[in-house]
Amino acid sequence: KLQWFLDAVKAHPNELKLVGAHCHLGSTITKVDIFRDAAVLMVKYIDAIRGQGFEIDFLNIGGGLGIDYYHTGAVLPTPKDLIDTVRELVVSRNLKLIIEPGRSLIANTCCLVNRVTGVKTNGTKNFVVIDGSMAELIRPSLYQAYQHIELVSPPSPDAAVSTFDVVGPVCESADFLGKDRDLPTPHKGAGLVVHDAGAYCMSMASTYNLKMRPPEYWV
């Protein structure tokens, strides 16, 4: 497959110029060893490509560094850790390194602030209904992503805690922000925060069901 691609580039020298190599490993990666393994493989490809006369200037190792979505206090690798892991290989081939660390830099810089519009039960499950929805933050309903959820006001020490699904007002059974969350029973109008909304949230928001996108405030 690589040779077929290189032959196609050679056949169109005026339209195509091969200048780098790129890979993508996945999302919410918590260990940087995988980037080292990928770099080893990628420099082999680059050596083969250069062997056919192409001037490869850069390696884009991609992104995927995760954050502590579950708020466990885990210490996760940083973009610098990623760079340090592949530095020797990149330098040995005189390559420029490109990384895509967006989520790890901005995911925990934003949150979605909501108000509770009601609490209800169907007899077997309890629900906290909020004015936010899958239209503003689709990650949980789209691919069951976990977002940490808290009430704005700290509960009293003796507050009773129940298990709730946190849901929105959109007429979709998939309109939820969190399932099986242990929370004090909130009152109508209480503030509720969905944390870590800085990546893949507003960029994926919609106006579904005539829901307007929420305003953004910089603090």
* Residues labelled as active-site residues: 171
Q: How many whole angstroms separate alpha carbon 178 and alpha carbon 131?
A: 14
Q: Which residues pair with 163 in a beta bridge?
A: 182
Q: What is the maximal distance between C-alpha atoms in the chain? A: 74
Hey, what's the torsion of the CAs at 41, 47, 48, 49, to 10 degrees? 110
Among 26, 53, 28, which Cα is nearest to 37's? 26
Alpha helices in 93-215 (DSSP H): 102-106, 139-143
Q: Which residues pair with 99 in a beta bridge?
A: 62
